[in-house]
Structure 1
Amino acid sequence: MSLRSPDALRRYYDSRLAAHGDTAQGAGWPNEADRQTRFAVMRALAPDGRMEDLCDLACGTGAFLDHLHAAATPPARYLGLDISETAIATARAKHGADRFAVHDLLADPAPGPFDYVVANGLFTVKDSLSAAEMWDFLRTATTAMWDMTRVGMAFNVMSAVVDWQREDLFHVEADALLRWLYALAGRRVILRADYDLYEYTAYVYRAPLATRPGQGF
């Protein structure tokens, strides 16, 4: 795999957006209620859910920023990045051009740093990629995310503890992910799987936090 984000993923999400518009289904999620649950879990990366300095990687149409405003926790500094020109055009129409950019994190130098970096859904769909290709992408992308992060980062993956695994989704064994994150960032890692979806979220921190992640969720 070259040092670019897989084009198959861009095509997948562009096709969902074209088919369903600026909705949860347009972002590849089954429904809005579950998407809002994921957003709340991402927000809990920070104490009281307040990420004042945030990079939203694979931001799509800016729905997570909508969620932060609705939760009365808008960031003071925010940058949404995505490789989809169509998604970024929609995000800019809603929130302004200065808060969003078309950017491939693997191909171009990372912006920042930021206190917090999140990626919601970037590592859940593999579409036509193999599991090995997707695993390589996850490791390369999370390395770039970690280099951007001053306080903490979060991302979600599909759980491998399910009744059956979909061929188009990327199901990740928790032990394998922990081994990778420990090697990348040390042992300040929390895997959160308490929100009743077939996935889990990784929180990774530069230093121990005084408050437990999840407070305010």
Structure 2
Amino acid sequence: MPNDYRDIVQHYEQCLAQHGDSHLGVDWPKKEDADTRYRVMLDVAKFDPAPPDTAAPSLLDFGCGAAHLRSYMLQQDFQDWKYAGLDLSEKFVTLCRQKFPKATFYCGDVLQEELSIQPVDYIVMNGVFTEKRSLTFEEMLSYTQQLLSKVFPMARRGMAFNVMSKQVDWEREDLFHLPIDTLAHFLTKELSRHFIVRNDYGLYEYTVYLYH
């Protein structure tokens, strides 16, 4: 797999440079929609058929960007959750460590190197697969499948991720509109039959909860 996916990282770094530490800085057009995504991502524990026996599950924010999910968690009822973040971008990870010095943040490419990451109950990948930028559909699909295969075993219970929907009036060329049946076939064959497809929160995307 060529390193074309690093073009996606560069795009987000350009957003950060232009818009700063804001929803626009991680290329979410509306803050209220970003907050909706954070709530939906955290529901991965709510829909778990066998949640861990703890009031404070652990979570890895994979592709954490500016750690806005952590900010959301601290403002809501998730203050006790054990949070860690990971991102490919040193610029974003440096920002996160300045904002949350007591939290753990990893910087690296799990497809290219072995990172020493502490096991967690859940992994969320919010926005990791929504933009394909200059990649073709086939290249983005291959990247998505490789990354899911690598990351899913790192979660003890399950993971959540989102992609753009095909059920839209029009599609943007730079976004990753993934047919549900294509994804379901891959998940069932390669990772797990235990998943939920969520399309009930009003955005032009869907979220998948995948469980072991």
Scaled by the length of structure 1, what TM-score is found? 0.89
Instruction: Spell out the pairing of 1:196-211 with structure 2 (5 A cutoff).
Output: 196-206=202-212
Gaps of 5+ in 2: 49-54
The Cα shift of 1:6 comes to 1.6
| CA shift digits 1:144-200 (9 cap, x unpaired) | 111101101000000011111101100000000111111222221100000000000
For the aligned residue pairs, the C-alpha RMSD in angstroms reads 1.8
* % identical equivalent positions: 38
Contact 2:15/2:24 (8 A) holds in 1: yes
Q: Aligned equivalents of 1:91 and 1:188: distance in 2?
A: 33
| CA shift digits 1:55-106 (9 cap, x unpaired) | 1100001100111111121354322000111111111111016511211121
> Does structure 1 residue 182 correspond to structure 2 residue 188?
yes
Contact 1:54/1:115 (8 A) holds in 2: yes
The one-letter code of the counterpart of 1:87 is F
Q: Aligned equivalents of 1:153 and 1:5: distance in 2?
A: 25
| CA shift digits 1:27-73 (9 cap, x unpaired) | 01111000000000001000389762111100001100111111121
Scaled by the length of structure 2, what TM-score is found? 0.91
Instruction: Spell out the pairing of 1:130-141 with structure 2 (5 A cutoff).
Output: 130-141=136-147
Q: Aligned equivalents of 1:106 and 1:5: distance in 2?
A: 13
- For 2:127, which of 121, 128, 151 is the aligned residue? 121
Aligned partner of 1:78 in structure 2 is: 83
Instruction: Spell out the pairing of 1:40-79 with structure 2 (5 A cutoff).
Output: 40-47=39-46, 52-79=57-84
Contact 2:130/2:175 (8 A) holds in 1: yes
Gaps of 5+ in 1: 207-217
Q: Aligned equivalents of 1:139 and 1:178: distance in 2?
A: 11
Aligned partner of 1:212 in structure 2 is: none
SS in 1 for 2:44: coil
Q: Give the aligned length.
A: 205
Q: Aligned equivalents of 1:31 and 1:115: distance in 2?
A: 29
When structure 1 is superposed on structure 2, of 176-185 and 110-119 the one drifting more is: 110-119
